[in-house]
A and B are shown apart, each in its own frame.
Chain A
Amino acid sequence: MSVLTDNFSLYGKGLWGTVQLTLLAGALALAVGVLIAGFRVSPVKALRVFGTVWVTVLRNTPLTLLFFAVLLGLPRFGVVLPFMVFAVLALGAYTSAFICEAVRAGINTVPLGQGEAARSLGMTFGQTLSLVVLPQAARSVIPPIGSTLIALAKNSAIAGSFSVTELLGTYKPLNELGYGIVWTFVWIAVGYLIVTLSIAGIFGLLERRFGVAR
């Protein structure tokens, strides 16, 4: 029990690391994911191909491998950044592929006539997507995006193996200090629960907010 009270600041730092990774990588994944979903439904073939390749590669690469690729690969090209930034890039890119597919599935639930009406009024592809299609896709996209971000929060634990401060990684110093492994992990699990339940709560609210329209 005392493992928590004695090491509150260590836990706190770990939890904050996980929250930061989740927020930053989540924001990156949402922005890139929606953009790539736009690519995948665009009238321009090159963009569609790029989108398909992006999703296929990232979704089918083990996340750990992606971390190695970013952490070892980018410095070869002279890109040297803090580990935290590398971790956000790897997590964000990986998660963007799943966000993209959730958004694309949502776009497909919007009747074709909506986009046709928008285009017949002279809207460009971007206007059609952002003003007409995506707002109507939002409702069906919110739950799977919530699940994807919850997965992201848990996936962020991998960053701990790459010298980034995050929640799971706190077990190492605690273990060295001689605390029991069971309680150490129980409190770590509670930390993850706080993060994931918060995400679930926020997305539940969003779903209610957007669920009433129409």
Chain B
Amino acid sequence: MPADPLIVLSGVNKHFGQLHVLKDIELTVGRGEVVVVIGPSGSGKSTLCRAINRLEPVQAGTITVDGQPLPAEGRALARLRADVGMVFQSFNLFAHRTVLDNVMLAPLKVRRRGKAEAERKARELLDRVGLLAHAGKLPAQLSGGQQQRVAIARALAMDPKAMLFDEPTSALDPEMINEVLEVMQQLAEEGMTMVVVTHEMGFARSAADRVVFMADGQIIEDRVPEDFFTDPRTDRARDFLSKILHH
């Protein structure tokens, strides 16, 4: 149990109709911790990630972020979401806005920062992900890797307490994966609290404090990466690892 818990899921259950996708999830993510979630397709990784900022409502259990239970819909929930950044597999940059506007929009409208301050911060973040030169472009004019780095900058612009990543590199061509992983690696080193759904085992080994293995909506293992990769306790995990590591 981490000393200073930031995200706590307790007894979380989620159904899609008949389908039981999250089963009695217990998960605590400490401040500054990086937790990588892996598992076979359909095991509920995305649903878990989305439940943490309530893009998916859950039917039972409690989810707290920095001690605050997630409110139902409405302004209180919006406020809480502003503190948790999310990066999607399909980037989801606002297609009608420039790169700079994408990064500035929420600080302006949600945090109600001044225009000059929001722009200064946005440029700083774009510089940091190596895309300042593309500030005036529309998302469609960028490569996938570039779009995903903008998406990370957009989430960081809100000064989130934690960041959620749902397979951030799965939609990318192989040569673009590293540029995104490098940004994430750097974030991890700076002490950002992160929950990362990914199949990038190199990232899990080098950046994660813990690896959570999910299957059929349950957390089956929750371990230090080195232990998990060298000595998985369950057959499910061993089976899964042999499949993804051997191709």
Q: How far is the CA of A22 from the CA of B10 in the complex (A)?
A: 58
Q: Which of A43, A111, A119, A125 contacts B55 (CB 8 A)?
A: A119
Do residues B88 and A113 form an inter-chain contact, with CB atoms below 8 A?
A: yes
- Minimal beta-carbon separation of A212 from chain B (angstroms): 11
- Minimal beta-carbon separation of A62 from chain B (angstroms): 38
In the complex, how many residue pairs between chain A and chain B have their CB atoms under 8 Å apart?
70
For B75, the chain A residues whose CB sits under 8 A away are: 124
Q: Say whether chain A's binding surface is mostly helix, strand, loop, or mixed.
A: helix
Stretch in contact with the other chain, from B93-101, B124-132, B217-225, B226-234: B93-101
Stretch in contact with the other chain, from B78-86, B175-183, B197-205: B78-86
- Minimal beta-carbon separation of A201 from chain B (angstroms): 25
Q: Which of A116, A117, A124, A136 contacts B96 (CB 8 A)?
A: A136
Question: Size class of A's contact patch?
Answer: 20 to 34
Q: Which of A114, A122, A131, A214 contacts B140 (CB 8 A)?
A: A214
Q: Which of A113, A124, A131, A132 contacts B78 (CB 8 A)?
A: A124
Q: Which of A113, A116, A131 contacts B109 (CB 8 A)?
A: A131
List which A99-116 residues lie within 8 A (CB) of chain B. Answer: 111, 113-114, 116
Given A119-B55, A127-B109, check contact A114 B85 (CB 8 Å). no
For B158, the chain A residues whose CB sits under 8 A away are: 121-122
For A127, the chain B residues whose CB sits under 8 A away are: 109-110
For B84, the chain A residues whose CB sits under 8 A away are: 120
List which B97-134 residues lie within 8 A (CB) of chain A. Answer: 105-106, 109-110
Extra 7 A-B pairs, beta carbons < 8 Å, given A119-B81, A121-B85:
A44-B73, A117-B93, A120-B53, A120-B84, A121-B110, A132-B94, A214-B96
